[in-house]
A = this chain, B = another copy of it.
């Protein structure tokens, strides 16, 4: 625990911090901030079985549904990639590689296919950037998706799993667009992967507020 978080605890104990009347929320003052701080990105190659149960997956998507959504347009959707669909995803990754590099060899193609087998839970996050509701700009829609994803990442961490976001050039390939039925005006932004961490890594150093906050 840092001396700063100890100080914040003391402050709250002394009653300077205001708590809500909901004891669950009040009890969460620290755990939720601690949860954010102890969360880390886990690459899908380090996410193994067991993955979240169906009930837990439902809870993660319910957490996503709590994201701010200006205009209530729900500017995103998710497509899960179940176990049976992993070979199709592998073929799409291989096709995507061939689209980028016609000379890709068998080892590279096998590596591309193998990526589809990682992480017990995998879903594609798709932003809806179509012209409907033009008053809500694309940046706000992607911010809403980010809020949804952060809730899922924190939820997975709260349930004891590792999780990570992954993107890459394959996301915008013809093969991926076809497999996932991405429509005009939609954008495949990243995969979210959730599973048991096979090999833990330390949390990375985070920027200090002074690095990204200024004042008028």
A residues within 8 Å of B by Cβ? 4, 7-8, 11, 16-20, 22, 24-39, 41, 50, 53, 55-56, 58-59, 61-68, 70, 72, 74, 76-82, 85, 88-89, 123, 127, 137-140, 142-151, 153-155, 157-161, 164-165, 167, 179-180, 187, 189-190, 196, 204, 206-209, 211-216
Contact = CB atoms under 8 A, between A and B. Distances in A.
A206 B65 CA distance: 6
Contacts of A214: 77-80
A56 to B, nearest CB: 7
14 contacts: A17-B53, A19-B160, A24-B35, A33-B158, A68-B153, A72-B204, A74-B207, A77-B212, A123-B213, A138-B142, A146-B147, A146-B149, A147-B149, A150-B151
Given A66-B39, A146-B149, A212-B78, A24 B17 contact: no
A41 B68 contact: yes
Given A24-B35, A27-B27, 11 more contacts: A20-B160, A29-B160, A31-B31, A37-B66, A65-B207, A66-B206, A67-B146, A70-B167, A77-B213, A80-B215, A127-B139
Nearest to A127: B139
A64 B209 CA distance: 8
Nearest to A181: B214
Nearest to A211: B74
